[in-house]
Amino acid sequence: MKIGIILGTRPEIIKMSPIIRYCSMQGIGFFILHSGQHYSYNMDKVFFDELQLPEPSYNLETGSGDPGEQTARMIIGIEKVLLHENPDVILVQGDTNTVLAGAIAGVKTGTQIGHVEAGLRSFDRSMPEEINRILADHCSDYLFAPTKTAEQNLIHEGIPVGKIRVCGNTIVDAVYQNLQIAGKKRTVISSLHLHPGKYFVLTAHRQENVDDKQRILGIINGVREVYLQYGYPVIFPIHPRTRKQLELFRIPPPDGLLFTEPLGYLDFLLLEKESLLVLTDSGGLQEECCIMQVPCVTLRDNTERPETIEVGANILVGSDSRSIITGVRTMMNKARDWKNPFGDGKSGERIINSITSEA
């Protein structure tokens, strides 16, 4: 048995980390292919070191670019590796261009494909991620759905039930495992002169938010209102794309919004865990907050993680400043006693055991 693990962004590395660790523990043959979708491998090498993961065997160094051109370069590179390695199955995770490229390359080379986190749907086809995840699902032989809701989405689209396995979400495994690593040596809270439970966290990076002046202005104004009402700082580890757009639109940071450089994953995980509340447009952070019992306010009009809303861990507010402050008030008044809907932290084990049991 040989498994090819294809990834290209930091969220994919995080969510694949439990699968990589379990393969290593069980002595299962695997290789990691890094597409280099967002970062050069030299930058991501630190990330693999931080999470105590083996380095990728292949690095395509694709880099950024127009989506079609970027995806095409990845398909070419992944196909060459698959023809050389001839794995029994490849695993892709999520909804990025790397996932789409990996799925297409798998189909073209006759390699079986497993889609980790299959079946998520925002039902908004204007989002590139929605198209990527739909196409990857319909290319795949193994669809590892994190929840029953995701399973039903796949069934409604006509995917045979025999291909679907509800395994939970590997983000639960990752949070549990990586918090153990982080807690041993991280001092990010004190280094930023913060006190646990006395600050908010903001992240914003999605194209539909940061490339639209009115939306990003609404978010910044909403954050200002949060600071004025509660008096706690809002920590903003700012994405380079977001910083560039704020400068382009000439939007100054309001009082109480404290920019930091992007943080390492373990530092950010601790920052998130000890915060009062998180405001974000990230899908993964919605899940992490839900798992760690941290209230979440999502700066989007839809989400492919409806389970977080159903259990009371999250609320959708869009980008309107009044909706943001209303959403923050709502979540601040909620007890942190919701049930985690994403599983028990053994999803990586279930995924690999499912594949090997059928080999």
Closest CA to 349 of 4, 18, 16, 14: 18
Could you write out the three-class secondary structure of 98-138?
A: HHHHHHHHHHHHCCEEEEECCCCCCCCCCCHHHHHHHHHHH
Which of helix, strand or coil describes residue 180? helix
Closest CA to 219 of 333, 308, 298, 332: 298
* CA distances for 17 relative to 13, 29, 50, 266, angstroms: 6, 15, 11, 13
For CATH 3.40.50.2000, the residue range(s) in the chain are 2-169+343-357, 189-332
Which of helix, strand or coil describes residue 60? coil
Cα separation, 34 vs 74, whole angstroms = 10
Q: Of 3.40.1280.10, 3.40.50.2000, 1.10.3720.10, 1.20.120.140, which CATH number belongs to 189-332?
A: 3.40.50.2000
Each residue's pLDDT tens digit, 60-75: 988 777 889 999 999 9
Residue 44: band (very low, low, confident or very high) from pLDDT cuts 50, 70, 90? confident
Per-residue pLDDT, 212: 95
Q: Pick the catalytic residue: 156, 193, 195, 205? A: 205
Query: 2-169+343-357 falls under which CATH superfamily?
Result: Glycogen Phosphorylase B; (3.40.50.2000)
Per-residue pLDDT, 219: 97
Mean pLDDT of 96-124: 97
Residue with tokens 């379990």: 22
Cα separation, 118 vs 133, whole angstroms = 7
Number of Cβ within a 10 Å radius of residue 345: 20
Q: What is the mean pLDDT of the chain?
A: 94
Per-residue pLDDT, 200: 98
Per-residue pLDDT, 214: 97
22 with 110: CB under 8 angstroms? no
Per-residue pLDDT, 41: 56
Q: Residue 172: enclosing H or E segment and its boundaries? A: helix 170-183
Per-residue pLDDT, 289: 98
Q: What is the DSSP annotation of 268-303? A: HHHHHHTSSEEEE--HHHHHHHHHHT--EEE-SS--
Per-residue pLDDT, 6: 98
Which of helix, strand or coil describes residue 37? coil
Q: Which two tokens stand for residue 301?
A: 């009009």
Is residue 195 annotated as part of the catalytic site, yes or no? Answer: no
Asked if pLDDT for residue 43 goes beyond 70, the answer is no
Closest CA to 123 of 307, 317, 304, 316: 304
Per-residue pLDDT, 320: 97
Each residue's pLDDT tens digit, 201-236: 999 988 899 999 999 999 999 999 999 999 999 999
38 with 23: CB under 8 angstroms? no
Closest CA to 87 of 118, 108, 113, 61: 113
Per-residue pLDDT, 351: 98
Mean pLDDT of 97-109: 98
Phi, psi of 255 (to 5 degrees): -55, 140
Phi, psi of 6 (to 5 degrees): -110, 125
Asked if pLDDT for residue 189 goes beyond 60, the answer is yes
Residue with tokens 């994953």: 265
Asked if pLDDT for residue 182 goes beyond 90, the answer is no
170 with 16: CB under 8 angstroms? yes
Residue 183: band (very low, low, confident or very high) from pLDDT cuts 50, 70, 90? confident
